């Protein structure tokens, strides 16, 4: 259990909701919702076990992916990463999953579908965003860092293949002790997508085997 800490000197970024128990197929968690004051975006922190003032807390920062998380899309690895992260936290017995409303690497659902259409025409995921006038990745982790501070967590073990998440958290004062890979098996629908993330976005996917899907 943790207690919300009012920090009068901190920027008033988030409104905190009611903490509730959340039994899931992976185990029991506590859910605490947050809302960004400036944007109205709502985020979620799922916590397992004692995390307040603990070092090297296992953490997954997961950006919302309606297609992958809700519908099990095989075009990405998001849904599988989400479920594997919850399993890892349950196994560890202590940890946090922060679910951020940053659909489509920050461009939103409507623009993401336009990017999907371009990908169906052979454009890779990076160039699809660029052709639509966006950056390859527009996500920001300030809200995640503030959620961690409100949970009194300053050091984490980050479940990610994306080194930009590490730098994105450290930019806002969170100490990332290490990154732990969260690899999923490629399939014929997402192999090119994953290879693009490795080659053009620096994701650490060297252990994956793409030979059967090229």
- The residues spanned by each domain of the chain are 19-102+139-206
Rounded average pLDDT over 135-150: 96
Residues that constitute the known binding site for GTP: 60-64, 81, 103-105, 125, 160, 165
**Residue 137 falls in the annotated catalytic set:** yes
User: Is pLDDT at 121 greater than 80 in this prediction?
Assistant: yes
Instruction: Please report which residue ranges of 48-176 form alpha helices under DSSP H.
Output: 78-92, 103-106, 109-120, 125-131, 142-150, 163-170
Q: Which of 137, 58, 150 is nearest to 102 (CA)?
A: 137
pTM comes to 0.90
Residues that constitute the known binding site for Zn(2+): 65, 76, 78
| pLDDT, tens digit (0-9, with 9 covering 90-100), for 124-133 | 999 999 999 9
Are 195 and 170 contacting, i.e. CB atoms less than 8 angstroms apart? no
User: Is pLDDT at 40 greater than 60 in this prediction?
Assistant: yes
| Active-site residue, selected from the candidate residues 69, 124, 137, 149 | 137
| pLDDT, tens digit (0-9, with 9 covering 90-100), for 176-188 | 999 999 989 999 9
Rounded average pLDDT over 134-143: 96
CATH topology assigned to domain 19-102+139-206: Rossmann fold (3.40.50)
**Residue 139 falls in the annotated catalytic set:** yes
| Active-site residue, selected from the candidate residues 139, 142, 149, 200 | 139
């Amino acid at each position: 259990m943790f207690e919300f800490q009012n920090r009068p000197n901190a920027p008033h970024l988030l409104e905190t909701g009611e903490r509730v128990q959340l039994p899931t197929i992976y185990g029991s968690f506590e859910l605490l919702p947050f809302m960004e004051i400036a944007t109205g975006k709502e985020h979620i922190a799922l916590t397992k076990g004692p995390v307040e003032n603990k070092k090297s807390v296992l953490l997954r920062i997961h950006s919302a992916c309606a297609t992958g998380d809700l519908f099990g899309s095989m075009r990405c690895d998001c849904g599988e990463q989400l479920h594997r992260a919850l399993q890892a936290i349950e196994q560890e017995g202590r940890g946090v999953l922060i679910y951020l409303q940053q659909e489509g690497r920050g461009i939103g659902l409507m623009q993401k579908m336009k990017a999907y259409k371009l990908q169906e025409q052979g454009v890779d995921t990076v160039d699809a965003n660029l052709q639509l006038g966006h950056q390859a990745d527009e996500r920001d982790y300030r809200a995640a860092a503030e959620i961690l501070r409100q949970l009194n967590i300053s050091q984490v073990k980050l479940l990610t293949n994306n080194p930009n998440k590490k730098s994105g958290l450290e930019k806002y004062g969170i100490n990332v002790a290490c990154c732990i890979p969260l690899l999923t098996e490629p399939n014929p629908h997402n192999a090119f997508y994953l290879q693009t993330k490795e080659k053009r976005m620096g994701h650490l996917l060297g252990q994956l085997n793409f030979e059967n899907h090229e």
